[in-house]
Amino acid sequence: MTTEKTGRFGQRTVQYIAVIILLIAFAGSATYAVMSDTSIHGLTVKFYGVSRYCTNPTGSIDVLNFKFTNAVVYSSASLEVSLSHVTFAMASNGEPIGTFSGPDAMFGPGQSVSYTPIFSNSTIDPYSQSLSSQIVLSITAQVSAGPYSTTTTTSDSALVTFPGPLC
């Protein structure tokens, strides 16, 4: 081989290696972006142990209250997720009950964060509530994972049967 051919061979090898490195970097970046998007849009909330009770803070009107023992928020994907501006909203049988602001939180892959929201509504007659209610709990938060951040809402619902009379 002549010096000229050897020089061209070495130059081409460097070019091929540079292209391969760029392709690997692009594929890695694209994968990370997809994982970030999936982590954000895979946000899930599940609630457990909801109870219903009345309070009478003024002595004149009974206020309807719902307390969730555990509202668990997690992501179905594998990047660390941070939540900010967390707001829960709750409805019973299609009627809005109220909102609850939760603290900011962060959790890693396979982890979750737990909240114990309480909702009160003084405009709904507690005595008009049936023993079974279709409960909907939704969370809206600024969700960040990897390079992306967006406001996301997700919800959980279940038919809940409450024991005995309400107040």
* pLDDT at position 149: 84
* pLDDT at position 32: 58
Residues 6+ apart with CB under 8 A from 83: 73, 104, 105, 106, 113, 141, 142, 143
Report CA-CA distances (Å) from 136 to 27, 85, 139.
40, 20, 10
Q: Tens digit of pLDDT for each residue in 10-56?
A: 677 777 787 777 777 665 555 555 566 566 667 889 999 999 998 88
* pLDDT at position 67: 95
Which residue type, as a one-letter code, is found at position 144?
A: S
> For the chain, which domains are there?
35-161 (2.60.40)
- The pTM for the full model equals 0.77
Q: Tens digit of pLDDT for each residue in 68-121?
A: 999 999 987 777 888 999 999 999 999 999 999 999 999 988 889 999 999 999
